[in-house]
C-alpha cells in the first residue's frame, strides 16, 4: 500500500504546519513552507488521516484514503451534562415489544459503529446481523442443544477434568461458577414453554468477529459493539451484550459456515437489539472498582 502524502495543490497549502503538528509519527515536514512527506518516514504513516482532517484549506490527500472517506464535521450540539444523561438511560434490555428492528435503523447503527477506533486502520471487525425470526429460532435451538452438552459434561468428574484441561483454570472457573448454572436454568425454561433466556426473544442479533491475525482485534471488536450499543440507544432501541453466544458460534463449524465466519476469525461478542417493552424511570449510580491518581506506592 502506498501511503504517500500528496500535496493536492501547492497553491492551496497555506503553510500553517497543522498537518506536521498533528501527525503522530512525524511523517510530514515543511519544505519551503509547503507540507511534504519526509522521505525516510513515509512508511511510518499509519493512515490515520488526521493531516487531511485538520487542514483548513483541503490541501492534502492520502493515496491510501480516497477523498470520499472524508466528511465535513459539525460541532456536537451537546455537552457533558446531556451526554452523561444519555448514558444514564442505558440499561441492558431483556424484554422487547413484538416489533422488528427496521433495516434502516440497523444501517444507522452500523454506520455509527464504524466510527469506533481501532488498533490500526482499517477496521477488521465484521458483523453478522440476524433478524429473521426463523433464523433466530434456529440459533436458539442450537444454543440450547450446545449448552445441554456442557451441562452433561459438567455433571461428572471425568467430564469436568477434561473441560478444565481443555479450557484452563480461568475459563473453567467461569463455566463452573456462572455459565453452567445460567444454562441449566435457561434450558429448563426453554423445555418448559420455549422461554428464551439466551436472546430474550429479541428481534435482532449482531455477532462481531475479526481476524485473529490483526492488531488489537479483540479490543476493536468490543469497541465496535459498544458503539453499536450506544447508537441503538440513540434510536430508542434497547440492547444487551450476550456473552453466552460467542463461544458457541466460535466452536461450531456448522454455525461458522452458516454465517460466513472465516476460519481465521474469532467470534468476539454479540448484541441483541429490539424495541424496549418498558421505559426505565430510574438510573443507577455506579462507581468504578477503583481510581488512583499518580500512584507511586502505598
Ligand atoms: C461482556 C458482557 C457479557 C454479558 N453477557 C450477558 C449474557 O449473556 N446475558 C445477559 O442477560 N446479560 C449479559 N450481559 C449484560 C450484563 O448482565 C449487564 O450489562 C449488567 O448486568 C449491568 O446492567 P446494565 O447493562 O443494565 O447496566 C453481559 C454484559 C457484558 C459486558
Average pLDDT over the chain, rounded to an integer? 93
Cα(179) to centroid(ligand 1), Å: 13
Cα(168) to centroid(ligand 1), Å: 23
Domains of the chain: 5-66 (3.30.70.20), 80-131+203-274 (3.40.109.10), 143-189 (no CATH)
Identify the H or E element spanning 188.
helix 180-193
Distance CA 213, CA 188 (A): 39
pLDDT of residue 253: 97
Distance CA 192, CA 186 (A): 10
Q: Is residue 261's pLDDT more than 90?
A: yes
Q: Tens digit of pLDDT for each residue in 71-82? A: 999 998 999 999
Cα(242) to centroid(ligand 1), Å: 6
Grid cell for residue 167: 479450557
HSE on the CB side for 47, CA within 13 Å?
17
- Protein residue closest via CA to atom 27 of ligand 1: 91
- Protein residue closest via CA to atom 14 of ligand 1: 241
- Which ligand 1 atom sits nearest the alpha carbon of residue 245? 8
Q: Tens digit of pLDDT for each residue in 78-106? A: 999 999 999 999 999 999 999 999 999 99
How far is CA 32 from each of CA 45, 51, 74, rounded to the nearest angstrom? 21, 18, 33
Amino acid at each position: 500500500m502506498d501511503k504517500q502524502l500528496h500535496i493536492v495543490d501547492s497553491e492551496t497549502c497555506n503553510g500553517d504546519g497543522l498537518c506536521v503538528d498533528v501527525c503522530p509519527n512525524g511523517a510530514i515536514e515543511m519544505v519551503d513552507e509547503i507540507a511534504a512527506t519526509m522521505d525516510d518516514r513515509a512508511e511510518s504513516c499509519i493512515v490515520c488521516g488526521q493531516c487531511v482532517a485538520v487542514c483548513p484549506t483541503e490541501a492534502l490527500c492520502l493515496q491510501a484514503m480516497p477523498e470520499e472517506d472524508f466528511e465535513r464535521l459539525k460541532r456536537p450540539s451537546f455537552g457533558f451534562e446531556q451526554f452523561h444523561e444519555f448514558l444514564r438511560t442505558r440499561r441492558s434490555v431483556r424484554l422487547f415489544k413484538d416489533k422488528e428492528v427496521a433495516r434502516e435503523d440497523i444501517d444507522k447503527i452500523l454506520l455509527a459503529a464504524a466510527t469506533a477506533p481501532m488498533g490500526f486502520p482499517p477496521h477488521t471487525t465484521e458483523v453478522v446481523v440476524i433478524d429473521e425470526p426463523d433464523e433466530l429460532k434456529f440459533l436458539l435451538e442450537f444454543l440450547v442443544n450446545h449448552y445441554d452438552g456442557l451441562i452433561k459434561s459438567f455433571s461428572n468428574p471425568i467430564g469436568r477434568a477434561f473441560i478444565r484441561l481443555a479450557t484452563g483454570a480461568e475459563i473453567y472457573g467461569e463455566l463452573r461458577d456462572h455459565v453452567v448454572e445460567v444454562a441449566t436454568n435457561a434450558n429448563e425454561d426453554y423445555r418448559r414453554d420455549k422461554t428464551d433466556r439466551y436472546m430474550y426473544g429479541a428481534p435482532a442479533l449482531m455477532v462481531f468477529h475479526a481476524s485473529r491475525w490483526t492488531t488489537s482485534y479483540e479490543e476493536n471488536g468490543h469497541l465496535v459493539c459498544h458503539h453499536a450499543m450506544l447508537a441503538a440507544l440513540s434510536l430508542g432501541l434497547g440492547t444487551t451484550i450476550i456473552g453466552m453466544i460467542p463461544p458457541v458460534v466460535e466452536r461450531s463449524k456448522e454455525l461458522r459456515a452458516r454465517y460466513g465466519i472465516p476460519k481465521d476469525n474469532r467470534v468476539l461478542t454479540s448484541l441483541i437489539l429490539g424495541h424496549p417493552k418498558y421505559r426505565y424511570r430510574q438510573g443507577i449510580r455506579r462507581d468504578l472498582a477503583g481510581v488512583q491518581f499518580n500512584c507511586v506506592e502505598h
